[in-house]
Amino acid sequence: MHRGKGMKFVGDSRVPAERKPNIPKDYSEYPGKTEAFWPNFLLKEWMVGAVFLIGYLILTVAHESPLERKADPTDAGYIPLPDWYFLFLYQLLKYKYAAGDYVLIGTVIIPGLAFGALMLAPFLDTGSERRPSRRPIATGLMLLGLISVTYLTWESVVTHDWEKAKEQGKIVNVSFDENDPGYKIYQKQSCVGCHGDSLSGGASGPSLVGTGLKPEEIMKIAKEGKPPGMPPNAFKGTDEELEKLATFISKLEK
């Protein structure tokens, strides 16, 4: 670069008037088969990216992203599950010595040590040796970490009730006539407390939509109860009302 006296600038700016040609360096003298990043290598990288993108789009089209029903903070019976990459931390807290009185071991000490060591790896493993086989402690600890994370994730996946999870999160679209005399009776009775405004169930009562039961069967359950949740004599009213209610519920379909 030209320095000192005799420098020319563009106008009164600090941009030198002398132009440099926009030519890439010659990498042919570099060791091995070195090539330029732009455009040679970037083109190859983009080809890898394009193949990856195809796989990514196939995944997107084949598996629609999940959406459960709208959040209902009153539903205490819901079994929660974090996204898959947090499962190992979640599973850790299920073990006796990482929960209850020892919860700090599960929430602070073990993750803190593991992630702290990961972050400070260059300062803990200061030797100049790079091959994994020549630094057995670092390699061993990382493998131990990998095995633990894999095992915990696996345990969490196999012990989770996926069928129930799918059921409890389902979006239920119920359409019914709110002016139906059956629904009016439903609201006046204690039914609504457990089975919900939209009859889609709640913490202590199942959904009444699409039960497949006949009116007589529903009348019987309303009078005699159904263990474990449904108490006997829940319905208090006339037989005529009960019949209307039962007919209304038996007709509900998804």
Partner 1 sequence: MLQKIYDWVDERLDITPLWRDVADHEVPEHVNPAHHFSAFVYCFGGLTFFITVIQILSGMFLTMYYVPDIINAWESVYYLQNEVAFGVIVRGMHHWGASLVIVMMFLHTLRVFFQGAYKKPRELNWVVGVLIFFVMLGLGFTGYLLPWDMKALFATKVGIEIAMTIPVVGPLAKTFLAGGEIIGAQTLTRFFAIHVFFLPAALLGLMGAHFLMIRKQGISGPL
Residue numbers 141-170 binding partner 1 by CB under 8 A: 142, 146, 168-169
The torsion angles phi and psi of 120, rounded to 5 degrees, stand at -95, 15
Phi-psi domain of 6 (left: phi exceeds 0; alpha: psi -120 through 50; beta: other): left
- Asked whether position 139 contacts partner 1 by CB under 8 A, the answer is yes
Q: Which of 3, 5, 101, 122 forms a contact with partner 1 (CB under 8 A)? A: 122
191 is in an annotated binding site: yes
- Determine whether the annotation assigns residue 160 to a binding site: no
Examine residue 124 and tell whether it contacts partner 1 (CB under 8 A). no
Query: Residue 251 and residue 247: Cα distance in Å, rounded?
Result: 6
Q: Give the three-state DSSP class for 125.
A: coil
- Which among 207, 199, 208 is positioned nearest to 178, based on CA atoms? 199
**Quick check: 103 binds partner 1 (CB under 8 A)?**
yes
User: According to CB under 8 A, which one of 25, 158, 227, 233 is a site residue for partner 1?
Assistant: 25
CB of 77 to partner 1, least distance (A): 10
What is the spatial distance between Cα 79 and Cα 168, in angstroms, rounded to a whole number? Answer: 8
Min dist. Cβ of residue 85 to partner 1 (A): 5
Minimum gap (Å) between residue 234 Cβ and partner 1: 27
| Site residues (CB under 8 A) for partner 1, limited to 167-226 | 168-169, 171
Residue 226 main-chain phi, psi, to 5 deg: -150, 110
Query: Is residue 238 near partner 1 by the rule CB under 8 A?
Result: no
Q: What is the DSSP letter of 229?
A: T
Residue whose token pair is 């202590």: 204
At 137, is the secondary structure helix, strand, or coil?
helix
Any bridge partners for residue 188, and if so which?
none
Q: Which amino acid is at 171?
A: I
Q: Which of residues 31-90 bind partner 1 (CB under 8 A)?
A: 31-38, 40-41, 44-45, 48-49, 52-53, 56-57, 59-61, 63-73, 75, 78-86, 89-90
CB of 94 to partner 1, least distance (A): 12
CB of 157 to partner 1, least distance (A): 14
Binding-site residues for heme c, in ranges, read 191, 194-195
